[in-house]
């Protein structure tokens, strides 16, 4: 081996060692490394205790195949799965569409827009429990505000909304949309505000009017953010318990139950928490692909809106 070759080989070996070292130590050595570890340790411990441990404990609680046999033999389970899918797909998409449209409204520069935005955010800022319980009473067929108003103004007795599956499920979805639309509107509003004005100006110079500017500038630039928000909200909606529990209570006859409320019912009404965990775990085949897709989307959309 010539001297040059030897130098190259040594160089390669050194480079390989260095890259391994970089992977392990991040280029930090000595006292700096110890300090880095000392600072990272509390976060790692918190992550282990409050994230990894509960997840593993949950997986362990719901690990027995007998639990799933029992779950699938429950006549309510299939209805619950269908309800959960409807809740997530309709609730999230309706909300994100509304939030996207409303963000377009709130970005307009009018003097009263900011004041209106403050009022608009109130449902999101209101604590969930009293808000959903108010909706439950608002919809009461006999004495609720909605039917009382219908009778007062139109001399018409409205239906008993929470006595029917579809109106009950609609009420749950509507309440969830009402409660959380303001949050996503603000997120999408922030996204719209980040779109460089120069692009709109350039489009205007090219003769683009309102609809064209929306289709060719706003939509492409907001698409990633919209998708990420939708995926993220689907993950939230899958685990949402409050709306169903406090608006329809899962009724009538458990026909509007979703997986989160069924799980809580098993855990705390029946006092069989393992079955409750299994009910929630059965959403994993939907949840895991959503999270993977979300992570991929977040990685791909680096540097974009």
Q: Which one among 141, 178, 227, 305 touches other proteins, defined by CB under 8 A?
A: 141
150-209 residues near other proteins, rule: CB under 8 A: 160, 162-163, 168
270 near other proteins (CB under 8 A): yes
Looking at the Cβ atoms of 30 and 207, the one nearer to other proteins is 30
**What span, in angstroms and rounded, lies between the C-alpha atoms of 84 and 240?**
10
- Closest distance to other proteins from the beta carbon of 252 (Å): 5
Binding pattern to other proteins, positions 120-139, x when CB under 8 A? -----------------x--
User: Should residue 42 be labelled a site residue for other proteins when binding is judged by CB under 8 A?
Assistant: no
- Cα–Cα nearest to 238, from 202, 282, 195: 282
CB of 46 to other proteins, least distance (A): 17
**CA 209 to each of CA 100, 200, 216: distance values in angstroms, whole numbers, following the listed order:** 19, 10, 10
Does residue 250 sit in helix, strand or coil?
A: coil
Closest approach of Cβ 270 to other proteins, in Å?
Answer: 4
**Position 140 contacts other proteins (CB under 8 A):** yes
- Cβ(162)–Cβ(146) below 8 Å: no
CA 103 to chain centre: 18
Minimum CB distance to other proteins, residue 57 (Å):
8
Closest approach of other proteins to the CB of residue 4, in Å: 40
Q: Based on the shown chain and the rule CB under 8 A, indicate whether residue 77 belongs to the binding site for other proteins.
A: no
Taking CB under 8 A as the rule, does residue 253 contact other proteins?
yes
* Identified binder of other proteins from the candidate list 155, 269, 285, 302, rule CB under 8 A: 269
- Give the separation between CA 195 and CA 180, rounded to whole angstroms: 24
Instruction: Return the CA Rg of the chain.
Output: 26
* Choice from 169, 254, 258, 283 touching other proteins (CB under 8 A): 254
* DSSP class of 161: G
What per-residue string of b and e applies to 273-299 under the rule 16 or more CB within 10 Å gives b?
bbbbbbbbbbbeebbeebeeebeebee
**Least gap, CB of 38 to other proteins (angstroms):** 6
By beta-carbon proximity to other proteins, the closer residue of 10 and 270 is 270
Length of the chain: 305
C-alpha–C-alpha distance, residues 276 and 61, integer Å: 9
Which residues 6+ apart lie within 8 Å of 173 measured at CB? 86, 87, 90, 91, 94, 243
Contact set for other proteins, span 16-35 (CB under 8 A): 30-31, 34-35
Q: How far apart are CA 246 and CA 242, in angstroms?
A: 6
Interface with other proteins (CB under 8 A):
30-31, 34-35, 38, 57, 61, 70, 74-76, 137, 140-143, 160, 162-163, 168, 248-254, 265-274
């Amino acid at each position: 081996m010539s001297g040059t070759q030897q130098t190259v080989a040594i160089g390669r070996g050194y480079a390989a060692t260095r890259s391994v070292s970089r992977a392990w130590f991040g280029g930090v050595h000595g006292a700096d490394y110890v300090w880095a570890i000392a600072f990272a340790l509390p976060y790692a411990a918190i992550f282990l205790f409050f994230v990894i441990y509960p997840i593993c404990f949950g997986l362990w609680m719901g690990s027995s195949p007998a639990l799933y046999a029992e779950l699938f033999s429950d006549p309510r389970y299939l209805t619950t799965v269908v309800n959960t899918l409807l809740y997530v797909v309709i609730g999230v998409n309706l909300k994100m569409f509304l939030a996207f449209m409303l963000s377009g409204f709130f970005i307009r520069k009018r003097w009263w827009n900011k004041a209106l935005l403050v009022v608009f955010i109130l449902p999101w800022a209101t604590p969930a429990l009293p808000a959903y319980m108010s909706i439950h009473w608002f919809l009461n067929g006999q004495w609720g505000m909605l039917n009382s108003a219908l009778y007062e103004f139109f001399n018409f007795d409205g239906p008993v909304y929470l006595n029917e599956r579809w109106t009950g499920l609609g009420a749950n979805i509507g309440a969830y949309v009402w409660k959380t639309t303001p949050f996503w509107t603000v997120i999408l509003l922030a996204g719209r505000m980040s779109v460089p004005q120069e692009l709109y100006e350039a489009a205007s110079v090219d003769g683009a009017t309102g609809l064209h500017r929306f289709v060719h500038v706003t939509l492409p630039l907001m698409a990633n953010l919209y998708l990420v928000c939708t995926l993220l909200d689907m993950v939230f909606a899958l685990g949402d318990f409050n709306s169903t529990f406090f608006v329809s209570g899962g009724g009538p006859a458990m026909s509007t139950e979703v997986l989160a409320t069924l799980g809580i019912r098993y855990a705390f009404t029946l006092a069989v928490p393992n079955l409750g965990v299994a009910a929630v775990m059965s959403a994993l085949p939907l949840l895991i692909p959503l999270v993977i897709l979300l992570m991929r989307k977040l990685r791909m959309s680096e540097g974009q809106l």
